[in-house]
Amino acid sequence: MVKIGYGGDYNAEQWPAPVWDQDHKLFGEAHIDTLTVGVFTWGLTQPGPDVYDFTVLDRIVERAAAEGRRICLATGTGAHPAWLAKRHPEVTRTDFEGRKHRYGQRHNSCPSSPVFRRLSTEMARRLAQRYGGNPAVIAWHVGNEYGGACYCDLCADGFRGWLRRRYGTLEALNAAWYTTFWSHTFTGWDQIEPPSALTEHWRGPDHTAFPGITLDYLRFMSDAMLANYRDEKAAIRESDPHTPVTTNFMGLYRPIDYHRWAPHLDFASWDNYPPDDRSPARMALAHDLIRGLKDGQPFWLMEQTPSVTACRDVNPLKRPGVMRLWSWQAVAHGADAVLFFQMRAGRGASEKYHGAVIGHAGRADTRVFREVAALGAELSALGGVTLGARTPARVALLFDWDSWWALEISDGPSRLVRYLDVVTAYHRALWTLGADLDVIGVTAPLDDYDVVVAPALHMVKGDLADRLSAVAFRGGSVLTTFLSGRVDENDNAFLTDVPGPLGTLLGIRVDEWDAREPVYVNRVRVGDATFQSRLLFELVLPQGAEVVGRYEEDWYAGTAAITRNDFGAGHGWYVGAGLDCAGVTWVVRQVLRRHGLLGPYPDLG
Amino acid sequence: MVKIGYGGDYNAEQWPAPVWDQDHKLFGEAHIDTLTVGVFTWGLTQPGPDVYDFTVLDRIVERAAAEGRRICLATGTGAHPAWLAKRHPEVTRTDFEGRKHRYGQRHNSCPSSPVFRRLSTEMARRLAQRYGGNPAVIAWHVGNEYGGACYCDLCADGFRGWLRRRYGTLEALNAAWYTTFWSHTFTGWDQIEPPSALTEHWRGPDHTAFPGITLDYLRFMSDAMLANYRDEKAAIRESDPHTPVTTNFMGLYRPIDYHRWAPHLDFASWDNYPPDDRSPARMALAHDLIRGLKDGQPFWLMEQTPSVTACRDVNPLKRPGVMRLWSWQAVAHGADAVLFFQMRAGRGASEKYHGAVIGHAGRADTRVFREVAALGAELSALGGVTLGARTPARVALLFDWDSWWALEISDGPSRLVRYLDVVTAYHRALWTLGADLDVIGVTAPLDDYDVVVAPALHMVKGDLADRLSAVAFRGGSVLTTFLSGRVDENDNAFLTDVPGPLGTLLGIRVDEWDAREPVYVNRVRVGDATFQSRLLFELVLPQGAEVVGRYEEDWYAGTAAITRNDFGAGHGWYVGAGLDCAGVTWVVRQVLRRHGLLGPYPDLG
Amino acid sequence: MVKIGYGGDYNAEQWPAPVWDQDHKLFGEAHIDTLTVGVFTWGLTQPGPDVYDFTVLDRIVERAAAEGRRICLATGTGAHPAWLAKRHPEVTRTDFEGRKHRYGQRHNSCPSSPVFRRLSTEMARRLAQRYGGNPAVIAWHVGNEYGGACYCDLCADGFRGWLRRRYGTLEALNAAWYTTFWSHTFTGWDQIEPPSALTEHWRGPDHTAFPGITLDYLRFMSDAMLANYRDEKAAIRESDPHTPVTTNFMGLYRPIDYHRWAPHLDFASWDNYPPDDRSPARMALAHDLIRGLKDGQPFWLMEQTPSVTACRDVNPLKRPGVMRLWSWQAVAHGADAVLFFQMRAGRGASEKYHGAVIGHAGRADTRVFREVAALGAELSALGGVTLGARTPARVALLFDWDSWWALEISDGPSRLVRYLDVVTAYHRALWTLGADLDVIGVTAPLDDYDVVVAPALHMVKGDLADRLSAVAFRGGSVLTTFLSGRVDENDNAFLTDVPGPLGTLLGIRVDEWDAREPVYVNRVRVGDATFQSRLLFELVLPQGAEVVGRYEEDWYAGTAAITRNDFGAGHGWYVGAGLDCAGVTWVVRQVLRRHGLLGPYPDLG
Ligand SMILES: [Zn+2]
Ligand SMILES: [Zn+2]
Ligand SMILES: [Zn+2]
């Protein structure tokens, strides 16, 4: 059967055989055809240093296959076993505070630990040898929700090696990190420590004396975990050359640069746990981001709750119809699978109150189960018509982990300006106005787009400025905002007017900027309309650009807040103030209208 | 003289002899007859490893006895001496963050330290040998305000031993903790670590990946300190077979399960430091809880301030008459002693601004001293008429540390639902309506009660469900609320409909529940009245029960929020929503009225 | 040229030669004549253990001298080099949480480290040998913004030595710290640990079980850093006997007792970074405090930003004219130099967005540069007329680090009463009313003052009470407030009526006091006027004093809140309540008026 995969995480190892019977019967009733199994089975499949035991996993896989279900098989390395931590303390992490952890939780492995790398890879190898040929296994699920960070001495060594490869010489490194500042010149690689509460950070992970070090550590940690993923994938490929391999991303997740990971996944997948009921735009952005990771290729919705989460302080219930609505939203954005966490609620531990398709009492007559079953029927009826579909977009939204990191670890101008807030504001406007759009990284080709929106593009690397200029030059529109074009790839300020290499495209210059508490509002007038702006107010000095909006308050009243520059056959737009939602929508509307890219209901927003 | 004991903590060792003269003169003026001495004297009585020196304590005891005052003699082990921490670093604690402490503060001893256990016991032994026969010594005060926690390796060993005794095998332990989850199966006892910020806790002491581990550590730590208390008591009993032994509890104090401690105290006592002037109901609950620890036997109010505290951010002054009012409230709830902390204000250290009967200037003409003296005269006039009195109650309120712990260390449904908030809401209603009540543990006999109120009875252990059913069956009323009947003694969910073993008694089933921020209100209608509910909204499905109250809002408007089930000759009540004060009072009023247990002024509340 | 120095921190080592050319050209345009150089150059001048290299610093100094600019030469020891931390881990600090730091940040040296002390001193020695004779070098700038704290074992040893010198015997120390409390008697010097999160502190640096220990550690740490400063100064003096030596203070900075440091500076200087635009009074206080450190001698404004800071969450822009206004305020308060941080904005690291005279683009046509240049012209026009000027004040405001520390590390009566809030309230009234005033320490002579205002003079040491009485006796006015006269120099309460040794002067006694949350207001009536009071309400019992203001609310309505006592030919005023701004101004106005010390516009405030 070729259709959207439907099912979810199934931790059958937690249950005795009679429960399995009940489960598969209920799966049948709910049109469940896809089960993710083995996500946390390392302790089960390797109960001791030299002991591998696949008995239970064999049964789970065999049973699912026998029932005609498809299996997304996890390598189970998202949490290591207790014996491993006891025998090899190196596998546990050291946290940002410098505290060496002992055994506990999940996501608990040091990515640089040779022991962890060897044994997790060996587990993937053995699983692939055993199950790689099983036709029920349609995908590999490596690890789980990679993330967090480690600051141990093994990671320090790994970081130094990563830096040697990146910079070659200490001279280059000192220049990149601007270490003449505060007497920080490094004269030996071993002097470099992971940036943490014990070294450069004066208040939490975002407050660093040296953003250059911190930025590189973020990059290194993302790469170190990517190496873990790649280790396991390579081991799988030794015996299973074709079954696609993925890992579950977490949407708008800061610690991992998914753009750098994406080439190594055969398809992307992600876990959708919005904080509340009022997140349709934010979910749309995340779907678009994930789809954009693989050039628009369909992805899997790997996890969502059918009802409630458990880890939040307050865990609201999804109202009737909400799960269905959000599932269809995923499909409409490119999902080829709609999966739940989880199929059956665990009895104990920290997720016992997390929602599940089947609750503790094993009932089929609950509202939640009925809605799951109803959606299952709908997806079955749909069949394969949406599989592999593409979104034809003429609008691109740039999303850049480096800019995210650099912006938020900077001292000044304002900690209140958050990258995601800016991006979601511009995305929401595009979404509200009905534009088809792709969310892409800063190295993706821009040739197919008429409109490129790059909110808070703090860091401008490589040939990006040229490529953005080319979009405008050939008649397109480029829209960017305050705090764009500030730093190079090492987070050093451009020694030119702000906005650095974007200045020519935008036809402006910014010498100074004001940051204020949220209670302070400066109105911005555009034609007959006035919008509020908050938090950041750049004083935009036109150098050829036309002034579109002007501040109405304070000593810079009457000066430019929004500009549009003619560049070639197109436009370079700049929004220098933290406009409110209506203001952002107004600007975006002007841009889309010029290219005829407003959606069918542009006045709904 | 047989009367209510009146006096308090007297740290005479801080003062020279002339001050003692002044003190005892003022004690006489204030009708002070009872002094608690020696609470922090370990450094004084054992100034070095092999040196004991009771000279000063002898003088204090002799002087008090000579003045005709009764002595509550402390063992002084609530804080260890500086030399002990230096010589035996094992005696200091390791905190939740994994930080080994050095010498400082009080409540500073690792309960598992063999050195601490040996020396604290030896101190109690020697004190009993020396003062056990002194007729002025009417009670022993072991340690002081036991509490806090330690996470050191000695405690880790102690925990493992405690677990072996509890579970016997690792198989049983793994089942209890549900360790198949997140690959946590323990294959050796030494793999188990105290649950802390370095292991299972992802955010503070209440956010744990494995509530099973955390719950057991709470139980273990309470037991470990109980062992400290029992060590000292046993040492006292070697030479003093009769003088009653106690330690001062702290009322509604989460870390110690006072029900497990109570059998080992000859009488209960507690320290009453309400956070503000508006706490009469809360204090009543605490008094009732303490009285209930020993089957209704009178207790001592071991500490209260005559005027102000010092440790709070803001320390308000007790207004004229408040100290008297609260003292009489204690007596009315069963106190056989009314004692202050402290008799004379210390000059230095952290309690120098804590209120005292005698201030720094040693005056008798202060308002506070005059009020103390006036109450002393009243208590003297009262004589012994209330001593040993009992409260004849037909209403029981269940209070359960295991439910408290399990509820508050759970992920989901809501961190905002706090055990004490629920318990105090129902207690306040009973108190407002004037019902005589006992606050009892879940293993106490229920035979004497017509009404049993069990708010948020999250964990249902042993035969409790049967005994509650029996209350209703014979015509009584059982009232419980949301989040009751959820887990067994290992904090694993019952594999049945919610509320688990209480389902038959209550005649309902709960498949789902909604949690919301405090700003969200759902009204609940009962007859003509409407009440507000907040935080948690269980969707109650009657399975025989009568619907008493219904939600008025949201997609579940019209469904049951409050139910009453006929069970035998009695009733099982269930309140599924976080009702406001008026709503709780309405429900409790119905229950009490049926049994004629409303107090004389039921409309005052 | 003799005039107010104008310029600032110039980190030329961060830039290549062509930039230097541009810089000096722009300095000329802006009338910059003074450059602070070498503040963070340790890594540059000592790139390895036995290697000194002054090549770059030579060029910077030579170039500045050649351009005719004056040089404030820093010793560069405010941050140590990376190789030093690697080679000698002892040089890094251990923080309040007990965490040993690795290399990072600045202000990162343990003040007790012999290695740090030896090498930092040697650096100062070599710099003085090399540049001491250079006529362009007009001042030495030792270290930078001394502050923070270290809790390492070296500091523990240093603390023990400091205590031995202070107390001589453990008996005296135990008495001072009141160690009979909580069994804390120390029987060996080695039992004493730095008070930290691992020892006496139960919640942060201000919540200590033993304020005596904590107070002495604050004193010790201030002294330990003073020793660092003195080491370097002595090394400078070996070869440069005359050039004045300073270090840059931070105004109202709690960790360092500037009064104890002041005798060792040849002139005082400070860095002015007010939190917002609304700080003129607070800046005036800081200027007066700094001027008062050296008996009224002029000081330098060592740092201010021309535009924005970077380290705050929100960094507002100085509006046009604000930098000029604040610079003139500094001059009017006694500044003989007006300097910026910094001359050119750094490209990278944590201050890349901190404002500078010259921005990243190197422009002279920015608003900020133009304002800097305009002020430079004004200061040049002014010439030397204000240099060395004195403020003839008849009003003294007492400022006391010991009282600040003792008050804020106390448990009770209220954590909300902050020393600076009280001091700034009374200073603001004096400032509003136009009084010329000196801010002085508690050991400064009082003979020249008619009015002495001592807000929250918590600790009364030595002969201070006598000297204050003498002021009143000869006809002056002494004004003090709640929480004054509470403790002796060891933070032990006086064993007399509150306010201790001030009682006779003030003619009152205080037995009790109420503390309340900020929402609670008690009005205080004085004549026809009524003012609000908050936070703390002392119940003042007149013992000869006249009642000036009375509470209007609560059970103590009608009792005294403000009193004035005739003492000799003068007055002792006491304000027992946390009066609002208008109330404080009313009281201060009465005091000033009597002495004819109201300024020319006393009704402006
Ligand atoms: Zn690591
Ligand atoms: Zn321990
Ligand atoms: Zn140190």
pLDDT at C605 over 60: no
Lowest mean pLDDT among A3-12, B271-280, C40-49, C60-69: B271-280
Q: Would you state the structure tokens that stand for residue B116, as one six-digit string? A: 């601490």
B351 catalytic per annotation: no
**Which ligand gives the minimal distance to the CA of C117?**
3
In a domain, B158, yes or no: yes
A-B contacts (CB, under 8 Å): 179
Q: Are residues C73 and C10 in the same domain?
A: yes
HEC profile of A472-496: HHCCCEEEEECCCCCECCCCCECCC
Q: Residue B1's pLDDT is what? A: 54
What contacts C247, CB < 8 A, 6 or more positions away? C141, C142, C143, C144, C146, C229, C265, C269
Q: Are residues C523 and C574 in the same domain?
A: yes
Expressed as residue numbers, the domain containing A298 is 5-151+224-382
Name the minimum distance, in Å, from the CA of A273 to any CA of chain B.
Answer: 15
The full length of chain C comes to 605
Report, as an integer, the average pLDDT of C157-165. 98
Q: DSSP letters of A255-303?
A: TS-HHHHGGG-SS-EEE---SSSS-HHHHHHHHHHHHHHTTT--EEEEE
Determine which helix (DSSP H) or strand (DSSP E) holds B379, and give its type and residue range.
helix B367-382
Q: Residue C1's pLDDT is what? A: 54
Q: Tell me: the pLDDT tens digits for B294-339?
A: 999 999 999 999 999 999 999 999 999 999 999 999 999 999 999 9
Test the B interface: residue of A352, A358, A363, A372 with most B CBs within 10 Å = A352
Q: Are residues A417 and A377 in the same domain?
A: no
- Calculate helix-pair angle for B211-239, B170-177, nearest 10 degrees: 120
Q: Do A83 and B191 touch (CB under 8 A)?
A: yes
Domain boundary among C341, C357, C382: C382
- Helix ranges (H only) for A67-99 are 82-87
Q: Do C191 and B320 touch (CB under 8 A)?
A: no
In a domain, C214, yes or no: no
- Contact residues, chain B, for A18 at CB < 8 Å: none
CB nearest to B181's CB, from A47, A349, A353 = A349
Q: Do C497 and B363 touch (CB under 8 A)?
A: yes
- Contact residues, chain C, for B13 at CB < 8 Å: 180
**Which chains form contacts with chain C, at 3 or more CB pairs under 8 Å?**
A, B
Q: Residue C278's pLDDT is what? A: 75
Q: Tell me: the pLDDT tens digits for C285-317?
A: 999 999 999 999 999 999 999 999 999 999 999
Q: Residue B279's pLDDT is what? A: 82
User: Residue ranges of chain B with pLDDT lower than 50?
Assistant: none
Question: One-letter amino acid identity for C3?
Answer: K
Q: Are residues A452 and A588 in the same domain?
A: yes
Centre of ligand 2 to C-alpha C347, Å, is 50
CB nearest to C412's CB, from B86, B106, B315 = B315
- Contact residues, chain B, for A86 at CB < 8 Å: 188, 190-191
Q: Which residues surround the ion ligand 3 when the cut-off is CB under 5 Å?
A: C 110, 112, 150, 152, 154-155
Q: Residue B378's pLDDT is what? A: 98
- Helix ranges (H only) for B333-366 are none
Q: Would you state the structure tokens that stand for residue B242, as one six-digit string? A: 């009769």
Nearest CA in chain A to C105: A200
Q: Tell me: the pLDDT tens digits for A341-361?
A: 999 999 999 999 999 999 999
Q: Are residues A237 and A115 in the same domain?
A: yes
Centre of ligand 2 to C-alpha B158, Å, is 9
In a domain, A41, yes or no: yes
Determine which helix (DSSP H) or strand (DSSP E) holds B221, and give its type and residue range.
helix B211-239
Nearest CA in chain C to A492: C348
Instruction: Give chain B's domain count.
Output: 3
Q: Do A354 and B212 touch (CB under 8 A)?
A: no
What contacts A548, CB < 8 A, 6 or more positions away? A526, A560, A562, A563, A564, A573, A587, A590
**What does the angle CA C233 – CA C238 – CA C241 come to, to the nearest 5 degrees?**
80
Reported ipTM = 0.97
Q: Would you state the structure tokens that stand for residue A185, as one six-digit string? A: 């010149």
**Which chains form contacts with chain B, at 3 or more CB pairs under 8 Å?**
A, C
Centre of ligand 2 to C-alpha B94, Å, is 6
Q: Tell me: the pLDDT tens digits for B553-581?
A: 999 999 999 999 999 999 999 999 999 99
Q: Are residues C426 and C475 in the same domain?
A: yes
- Contact residues, chain B, for A362 at CB < 8 Å: 495
Lowest mean pLDDT among A271-275, A300-304, A485-489, C494-498: A271-275
Domain boundary among B215, B236, B265: B215
Find the farthest-apart pair of alpha carbons in chain C and give their distance in angstroms, rounded: 75
Q: DSSP letters of B143-212?
A: SSS------SHHHHHHHHHHHHHHHSSHHHHHHHHTTTGGG---SSGGG----STTTTBSSSTT-BS-HH
Q: Residue A425's pLDDT is what? A: 98
In a domain, B543, yes or no: yes
Nearest CA in chain A to C100: A198
A-C contacts (CB, under 8 Å): 179
CATH code where residue A509 lies? 3.40.50.880
Centre of ligand 3 to C-alpha C110, Å, is 4
Q: Which residues of A are designated catalytic?
A: 145, 303
Q: Residue B605's pLDDT is what? A: 54
CB nearest to B105's CB, from C186, C202, C416 = C202
Q: Are residues C287 and C334 in the same domain?
A: yes
Give the residue from A397, A274, A280 showing the smallest Cα distance to A333.
Answer: A280
- Contact residues, chain C, for A185 at CB < 8 Å: 43-44, 47, 81-82
Find out whether C583 and C532 touch, Cβ atoms under 8 Å: yes
Test the A interface: residue of B171, B183, B192, B216 with most A CBs within 10 Å = B183
Q: Residue B148's pLDDT is what? A: 97
CATH code where residue B319 lies? 3.20.20.80
Name the minimum distance, in Å, from the CA of C144 to any CA of chain A.
Answer: 11
How far is residue B94's CA from residue B605's CA, in Å, rounded to a whole number? 47
Centre of ligand 3 to C-alpha C42, Å, is 20
Write the burial class of residue C445 (CB in 10 Å: 0-12 exposed, 13-18 middle, 19+ buried).
exposed
Write the burial class of residue B312 (CB in 10 Å: 0-12 exposed, 13-18 middle, 19+ buried).
middle
Q: Would you state the structure tokens that stand for residue B14, as one six-digit string? A: 């801080």
CB nearest to C81's CB, from A185, A209, A212 = A185
Q: Are residues C434 and C352 in the same domain?
A: no
Catalytic choice (C232, C303, C371, C538): C303
What contacts C357, CB < 8 A, 6 or more positions away? C8, C26, C30, C32, C306, C340, C342, C343, C344, C368, C369, C372
- Contact residues, chain A, for B500 at CB < 8 Å: none
In a domain, A605, yes or no: no
Centre of ligand 1 to C-alpha A127, Å, is 26
How far is residue C64's CA from residue C70's CA, in Å, rounded to a whole number? 7
**Which ligand gives the minimal distance to the CA of B108?**
2
Q: Could you give the 3-state DSSP secondary structure of residue A17?
A: helix
Q: How far is CA C359 from the centre of its chain?
A: 30
HEC profile of A323-352: HHHHHHHHHHCCEEEEEECCCECCCCHHHC
Name the minimum distance, in Å, from the CA of B542 to any CA of chain C.
Answer: 47
Q: Could you give the 3-state DSSP secondary structure of residue C360?
A: coil
Nearest CA in chain A to B190: A86
Q: Are residues B452 and B312 in the same domain?
A: no
- Contact residues, chain B, for C188 at CB < 8 Å: 82-83, 86
Centre of ligand 3 to C-alpha C153, Å, is 6
Nearest CA in chain B to A309: B412
Q: Tell me: the pLDDT tens digits for B126-147?
A: 999 999 999 999 999 999 999 9
Q: Tell me: the pLDDT tens digits for A259-313?
A: 999 999 999 999 999 977 778 999 999 999 999 999 999 999 999 999 999 999 9
Centre of ligand 2 to C-alpha B83, Å, is 18
In a domain, C163, yes or no: no
Query: Would you give the DSSP letter of residue B101?
Result: P
- Contact residues, chain C, for B48 at CB < 8 Å: 187
Q: Residue A320's pLDDT is what? A: 97
Nearest CA in chain B to C410: B350
- Contact residues, chain A, for C307 at CB < 8 Å: 512
Question: One-letter amino acid identity for A556?
Answer: Y
Q: Are residues A74 and A140 in the same domain?
A: yes
In a domain, B548, yes or no: yes
Task: Spell B329-346 as b/e; 16+ CB within 10 A means b.
Answer: bbbebbbbbbbbbbbbbb
Q: Do B311 and C188 touch (CB under 8 A)?
A: no
Catalytic choice (B303, B371, B408, B538): B303
Q: Are residues A252 and A295 in the same domain?
A: yes
In a domain, C175, yes or no: no
Report, as an integer, the average pLDDT of C84-109. 97
Q: Are residues C462 and C326 in the same domain?
A: no
Q: Residue B290's pLDDT is what? A: 98
Test the C interface: residue of A153, A182, A512, A553 with most C CBs within 10 Å = A182
- Contact residues, chain C, for A555 at CB < 8 Å: 319-320
CA distances from C180 to B61, B123, B440 (A): 17, 18, 39
Domain boundary among A183, A215, A247: A215
Centre of ligand 3 to C-alpha C234, Å, is 22
Centre of ligand 3 to C-alpha C95, Å, is 9
Q: Tell me: the pLDDT tens digits for B207-241?
A: 999 999 999 999 999 999 999 999 999 999 999 99
**Which ligand gives the minimal distance to the CA of A220?**
1
Q: Would you state the structure tokens that stand for residue B272, as one six-digit string? A: 């009453």
